[in-house]
A and B are shown apart, each in its own frame.
Chain A
């Protein structure tokens, strides 16, 4: 009789596994709907997109088994090595990478391409978990903060340089992990203020933002001078400092937006902010995806009945815009169900992560929640027209082998760690 420890399925969270299978199933159904019109009806034709996706799904099972076979300890022990291997792989793209759609993000092996950045997320999560879980590691100190941020910086910058800024943006999610583990709250505050100022500056233009913030600043200053003279005397440098920082940020937003960003980046922001209405040119994607979703109505048009899906109105529908298929064919009922499923899935991981005895497992769990969350927010936000066009996939739904495997690895390492929570390390 095999011992409980030898059974690789022992202790794993079947609820998360169930979520995984539901997502994979729903995802494939919608990829099928989105690509059937381009192909003949032939379920097991593996040259079609839905056929290929079926292969990726099939091949993810050996990967899952492989992940579950390793001891939880293995991941902690080799986290840094895995991290370094993936840094090398990312760097290697500049030499050996294959350029698809303008980004050198793929390794091509025959007709088969792999995108290391999809797996680098798991590697980075492991590395962060390992670094932060160290007993001596204190995120209140500036030096450790720099260490943690540096660890995130390397994969992010390599991915930006591919260039694939969308995928790199996901690394911003780690701020939630670090905050959970003790990073001071003002990082979050600064982050949100910066986001706020960024959007406001783009909407109002930097002159107006600067002037109105100056007025606000003078009001605050006067308030302190007349009503809190003591606090003013103590903290005036801080107040002025914050204002100057904000002013510089506003100014640099304008500078970056108008001089560093390319026109197509600017367009994407302008569309979301409602400054540009061009339904045929730059606004085409957003317009088509929003219209397609809206056309679904309350109950949707039914499986394979979405004429906009079948008519291939939405560009990249099977990958980044897969949610439009859900929206059109399954309506408000189906699309809100997917959102609820995602929310439940994320909350489930958080609750499992909080139950971990080992800090390493908890931090890793938080990392993957943050990553899934980031993908969820950006992808669906983009499709429903709330977030600028940033091409990153919807976990488990979007077509593509690397993405699917990357998310599978991300999730199942956590399931492996979680299964081990009651055992000694």
Chain B
């Protein structure tokens, strides 16, 4: 038995060992990960879809596509070659060549990477004829952005190459692909991008392509991105940019009845076409490094300023809501408001009412600091502790979309600031503060900060008498309904009845002979608005203006910020009213004012800041 059993034993023994080994190799061992296996046998080629077009609200084309040619490289297939000739052909230096090859190899030696982006059409023609000599390189067609109107750069944003972190976090992107990195391109990347087509090509062990993998079973065609129609009015946008020339600041115009953003100007800006083509990175670096005028900062969305006088409207509405004032109650103003016993406890006022009774209407059109300081103080003092008072007041203000992100479809934003009681408890740790310590809030100074879009939205809420729609930029997306949140009104905490008298006051800012914006009145248009002059530590006061028109059934609500523009009526007022005029009538009846805005420059003030 012993003799006969040996071979039987060995056969079974070997059989078990081999099955165990196969089990280890085929089932347990993950080092033979299928994806790397596939990489070596199957080559993946991408077919890039055309990015979606972007139109303005009236169908004017804002962003189109142009064909571009990228030189691609598969590092493992590069053979020794005449590097000097190659560099000369592509107009790059040897050092750049080495750097690019190394970068591509780091990503993958087998997967194609972009070697050189966006070769011009002329270069493409000459390259195509000679590139076959350089193994491992080929040309990939891709569509690039084109901006026919050269405006609204801050709105549209730009696309750029994905960076390595993005690739690692998102398997949809590969090295060298383009992704929206700002503006609409970023916030609607998913819509605009489309789906790239994939072709799988079977290779043999010499890396030779031997036909399509499984007869193209897994191949897909590229699906073009969807077009987007913006809420932006391209004509108004461009007009706003022209008005803001040589000034810094932002304009945001909103249609109150829908929350659609009609214009969103940020100055200084740049030609969006600079972000396309081979000089893109040079241009981008230049814009990026400009820390003085910050052209890449969208001032309409990101710049936080103290809102100044327009904020008085909120103070008034809150005081009305809290029943601490009535439309008829009045105060007297003698050039200021004394809120304490100390000498410094005095808020100066330029309303020049000379002691005559100041009620709500007058207070608004004369922008009386004393009135609103009084209303604010009464509001806070209504509550047992100032903390509580400031919190209630803050809640009301926040219901206008202030002090927080608007949760909209724009890629950037800032919260602004509406202070609450805790903030002051921190500043005055012993709880020894009273309403007077925060009195500056009443007139939009102090701790209050807003961005132009918040201010425009606030104006829209006032124009709507108590509600607003989240300001948004997309009007129509092909093949996709608009997000419900943009069509749902958000109500403020102020009752509708309180808006009427306030709006009357705002109307009188233009209509009353002593109104602060009397000079910006437009014949035939019922504009309501409020001037503002915001003190700031950087230099000259900012010029601010909010307005909406017409008074009944308003079509446009606007906020204008001009940095260091002295006072509201000097720059922001005329610009706001010109914008309204342009939007509502399509023509300008005040050519002189318009010319003054086009040509006016505050560069002098900006230069001062550098000294």
Out of A369, A381, A384, name the residue touching B25 (CB < 8 Å). A384
Number of residues of chain B lying within 8 A (CB) of chain A = 34
B7 at interface, CB cutoff 8 A: yes
A373 at interface, CB cutoff 8 A: yes
A296 at interface, CB cutoff 8 A: yes
Out of B4, B15, B205, name the residue touching A354 (CB < 8 Å). B4
Shortest C-beta distance, A185 to chain B (Å), equals 8
A339 to B4, CA, bound (A): 22
Out of A290, A291, A343, name the residue touching B12 (CB < 8 Å). A343
B552 at interface, CB cutoff 8 A: no
A60 at interface, CB cutoff 8 A: no
Given contacts A307-B202, A369-B7, contact A339 B22 (CB under 8 A): yes
Decide: A335 and B22 in contact? CB cutoff 8 A. Answer: yes
B6 contact set on A, CB distance < 8 A: 176, 179-180, 188
Q: Which residues in chain B, 1-18, are within 8 Å of chain A measured between CB atoms?
A: 3-4, 6-8, 10-12, 14-15, 17-18
Decide: A373 and B21 in contact? CB cutoff 8 A. Answer: no
Decide: A384 and B22 in contact? CB cutoff 8 A. Answer: yes
Given contacts A297-B34, A313-B205, contact A307 B41 (CB under 8 A): yes
A336 at interface, CB cutoff 8 A: yes
B203 at interface, CB cutoff 8 A: yes
Decide: B15 and A340 in contact? CB cutoff 8 A. Answer: yes
Decide: B32 and A294 in contact? CB cutoff 8 A. Answer: yes
B214 at interface, CB cutoff 8 A: yes
Q: Interface majority SS on B: helix, strand, loop or mixed? A: helix
Shortest C-beta distance, B11 to chain A (Å), equals 5
Shortest C-beta distance, B199 to chain A (Å), equals 15
A319 at interface, CB cutoff 8 A: no
A169 to B398, CA, bound (A): 89
Out of B8, B17, B27, name the residue touching A297 (CB < 8 Å). B27
Decide: B25 and A310 in contact? CB cutoff 8 A. Answer: no
Residue of B nearest to A369 (CB): B7
Given contacts A288-B205, A311-B202, A354-B4, contact A298 B15 (CB under 8 A): no
Q: Which residues in chain A, 288-331, are within 8 Å of chain B measured between CB atoms?
A: 288, 290-291, 293-298, 305, 307-308, 310-315, 327, 331
A343 contact set on B, CB distance < 8 A: 11-12, 15
A26 at interface, CB cutoff 8 A: no
Decide: B32 and A295 in contact? CB cutoff 8 A. Answer: yes
A394 at interface, CB cutoff 8 A: no
A69 at interface, CB cutoff 8 A: no
A127 to B219, CA, bound (A): 61
Out of A182, A294, A311, A347, name the residue touching B26 (CB < 8 Å). A294
Mask: chain A, 334-375; 1 = CB below 8 Å from B; 0 = not = 011001101100110010001000000000001001100100
A37 to B205, CA, bound (A): 13
Shortest C-beta distance, A139 to chain B (Å), equals 11
A207 to B3, CA, bound (A): 37
A380 to B18, CA, bound (A): 8
Residue of B nearest to A299 (CB): B26
B27 contact set on A, CB distance < 8 A: 297-298, 332
A18 at interface, CB cutoff 8 A: no
A240 to B2, CA, bound (A): 29
Residue of B nearest to A353 (CB): B4
Residue of A nearest to B23 (CB): A332
Decide: B7 and A293 in contact? CB cutoff 8 A. Answer: no
B23 contact set on A, CB distance < 8 A: 332, 336
Taking Cβ atoms with an 8 Å cutoff, the residues of B that contact A are 3-4, 6-8, 10-12, 14-15, 17-19, 21-23, 25-27, 29, 32, 34, 37-38, 40-42, 202-205, 210, 213-214
